[in-house]
Amino acid sequence: MNIDHEYRTDISSGWNRKHILGLQDLSRDELNIILNQASEFKRLAAIGETKLTPLAGTVVANLFFEPSTRTRISFGLAAKRLSADTVDFSASGSSLSKGESFVDTAKTIEAMGVSYVVVRHKTPGAPQLLAQHLDANILNAGDGTHEHPTQALLDIFTIREHFGKIEGLTVTLVGDILHSRVARSNIWGLKKLGAHVIVCGPTTLIPSEISKLGVEVSSNLDDVLPRTDCLNLLRIQFERQRGHYFPSIREYAHLFGMNKQRINKAKENVLILAPGPINRGVEITPDVADGPHSIILGQVSNGLIIRMACLYLLHLQRTASLGTPG
């Protein structure tokens, strides 16, 4: 089979965006192009076609200025599956400690022949800054509390794969909405694709203006659980919090943690997602995390093909803009 030909279907026609910085920027059509391209890569993987060649001869740089397990490894593997060379940067041990700026560091790495830059940074807007200063195509791998577009795309892909649709589903995001880039990206993406989105958590962890995004707001998980199709359990972002938002972890787990008793009150086919890393016993008990409703490891697997799709689409844009064959 000529795989190079097979994956260049018309799925990607209509894509001309240079960067993927957030789901706020993307249209419904663009979201569907990414999701459909990911489906195509998943289909190819299922028939054993795991090593594809479109990015051969290009370099993808992973610039992680914050810790990561899932995003970093899956972007690295996605690039390799598409035959790109990869370079990995970690802030610790770099020349940042000698006073080099963020942009100068990125430009230095770009000068080694890098075409695609994956960046995670604690500062909201850091990927946009690189998009302004570099020629490379930029992929946001999480910027502070702002957006984490590929996490939301893999969440949405996983939900769509399970239910066969997004339109009309009720998705409840539970927990630390205030500090969650995953929540923001999920809200933009899910709303554009026609889901009803509920945000649920302690009132102190829900931004006051969030209802302007068209979401329902609740502080009572037991109230919203019976009409929820998917629960996305967000981690309490202790590292971003600058105060006490609830009296104790025990109380949080009692009010907002997903456990066996709550599963019994939920829809029979409720789907449990968590972007991870998970705090077992806080937002989810181990029996639920490892139980039949949980799709947490499936999300991780889908992260790989979502990131392949994103890299591939940016590659198509790049080659088209340079006038070279994709």
Catalytic residue ranges: 70-71, 98, 120, 148
- The answer to whether 317 and 17 have CB atoms below 8 angstroms apart is yes
Site string for ligand CP, 217-256 (x = CB under 6 A): ----------------------------------------
Gyration radius from the chain CA atoms: 20
The residue from 57, 194, 277, 286 that contacts ligand CP (CB under 6 A) is 277
CA–CA dist 69, 326 (Å, integer): 31
Q: Cβ 320 to ligand CP, closest distance in Å? A: 30
- The answer to whether 215 and 187 have CB atoms below 8 angstroms apart is yes
Q: Cβ 120 to ligand CP, closest distance in Å? A: 7
CA–CA dist 245, 252 (Å, integer): 10
For 65, half-sphere exposure in the C-beta direction (CA atoms, 13 angstrom radius) is 22
CA–CA dist 220, 255 (Å, integer): 8
**Cis amide prior to 277 (ω within 30 degrees):** yes
The residue range among 6-14, 87-95, 226-234, 269-277 that interacts with ligand CP, by the rule CB under 6 A, is 269-277
Residues in CB range of 188: below 8 A, 6 or more apart: 22, 23, 24, 26, 147, 152, 213
Closest CA to 310 of 176, 145, 185: 185
Q: Cβ 306 to ligand CP, closest distance in Å? A: 12
Binding residues for carbamoyl phosphate, as ranges, are 70-71, 120, 148, 151, 276-277
The residue from 12, 58, 71, 232 that contacts ligand CP (CB under 6 A) is 71
Q: Is 297 in the site for ligand CP (CB under 6 A)?
A: no
CA–CA dist 230, 128 (Å, integer): 31
The residue from 7, 37, 60, 70 that contacts ligand CP (CB under 6 A) is 70
Q: Is 275 in the site for ligand CP (CB under 6 A)?
A: yes
The number of beta carbons lying within 10 Å of the beta carbon of residue 159 is 25
Site string for ligand CP, 107-146 (x = CB under 6 A): -----------------------------------x----
Binding residues for L-aspartate, as ranges, are 98, 181, 235
In the complex with ligand CP, the residue whose CB is nearer, 150 or 285, is: 150
Q: Is 175 in the site for ligand CP (CB under 6 A)?
A: no
CA–CA dist 81, 98 (Å, integer): 35
Interacting residues with ligand CP (CB under 6 A): 68-72, 142, 148, 151, 275-277
